[in-house]
């Protein structure tokens, strides 16, 4: 495993890298409120087959976190930076593994460069309205009526108890290491983090608005896709995985007995599926 940084659009982007550069590339797109650290167990399991690259998004993990005056925190802007990051490394075609926030970021890049996408692993990476859990109904109301009070209330999304719940809900007792959520909680303590993440919570509506475009991309280009889902995830529910079959009749759909951060308790099972479906 190598740990590096590269300057992209004036930002230092941190990334993890493993595997032979001559092997097929696989880009890992992390989610909220995590970083490339969420792939710490998966990377060694697949690095003998893929050239694995896992960046931290701007404002996350070890990448630069410019102020909101210097950088507009939106999914469009983050996708643009990560697209430039991929180009800066000279990566041509690649597989992408998308999770949570990483799904709308990865799918934006796929829309822009459909010829580069060799296949997709979507692990609780939702692009369908039916995959949105109950909590999104309240968020949709917030997007329609974004009062300062509601913005403040949604800062509970990165409270320590909420993050721990994201990791542990729907998992077998004792199956989730505290390492991942402890590091995520550490990053939330940085000055300005709360307002940056609040911007992204509000901008998530742009992802939902783009779901039809993401689905059109799937129908038109028919990428090979594995949807592997923590079946107990309350945020992105199993219907979001099943919906891929509507646009990709050959989509591989698999459920694991876990929650949102399924890699924390089912990493070996997910790695085995990747090997089986992308030989």
260 counts as catalytic: yes
> Do 209 and 105 contact (CB within 8 A), yes or no?
no
> Do 268 and 168 contact (CB within 8 A), yes or no?
no
Instruction: Identify the active-site residue in 30, 37, 51, 260.
Output: 260
Helix axes 75-88, 102-112, angle to 10 degrees: 60
> Do 13 and 5 contact (CB within 8 A), yes or no?
yes
> Do 88 and 8 contact (CB within 8 A), yes or no?
yes
Pairing of strands 94-98, 51-55: unpaired
> At a CB cut-off of 8 Å and minimum separation 6, what does 268 contact?
45
DSSP state of 57: P
Active site residue ranges: 260
């Amino acid at each position: 495993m190598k740990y590096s940084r590269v300057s992209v659009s004036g930002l230092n982007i941190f990334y993890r890298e493993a595997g032979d550069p001559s092997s097929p590339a696989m880009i890992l797109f992390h989610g909220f409120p995590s970083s490339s650290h969420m792939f710490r167990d998966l990377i060694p399991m697949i690095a003998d087959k893929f050239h694995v690259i896992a960046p931290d998004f701007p404002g996350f993990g070890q990448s630069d976190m410019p102020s909101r005056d210097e950088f507009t925190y939106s999914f469009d802007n983050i996708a643009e930076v990560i697209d430039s990051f991929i180009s800066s490394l000279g990566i041509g075609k690649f597989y992408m593994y998308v999770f949570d926030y990483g799904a709308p970021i990865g799918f934006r890049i796929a829309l822009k460069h459909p010829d580069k996408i060799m296949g997709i692993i979507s692990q609780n990476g939702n692009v369908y309205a039916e995959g949105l859990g109950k909590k999104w109904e309240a968020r949709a109301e917030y997007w329609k009526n974004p009062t300062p009070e509601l913005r403040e209330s949604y800062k509970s999304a990165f409270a320590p108890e909420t993050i721990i719940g994201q990791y542990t809900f729907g998992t077998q007792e004792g199956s989730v290491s505290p390492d991942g959520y402890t590091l995520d909680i550490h990053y939330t303590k940085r000055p300005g983090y709360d307002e940056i993440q609040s911007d992204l919570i509000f901008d998530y509506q742009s992802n939902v608005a783009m779901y039809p475009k993401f689905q059109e991309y799937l129908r038109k280009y028919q990428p090979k896709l594995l949807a592997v889902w923590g079946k107990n995830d309350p945020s992105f529910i199993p219907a979001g995985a099943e919906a891929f079959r509507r646009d990709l009749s050959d989509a591989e759909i698999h459920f694991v007995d876990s929650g949102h951060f399924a890699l924390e308790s089912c990493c070996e099972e997910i790695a085995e599926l990747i090997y089986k479906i992308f030989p």
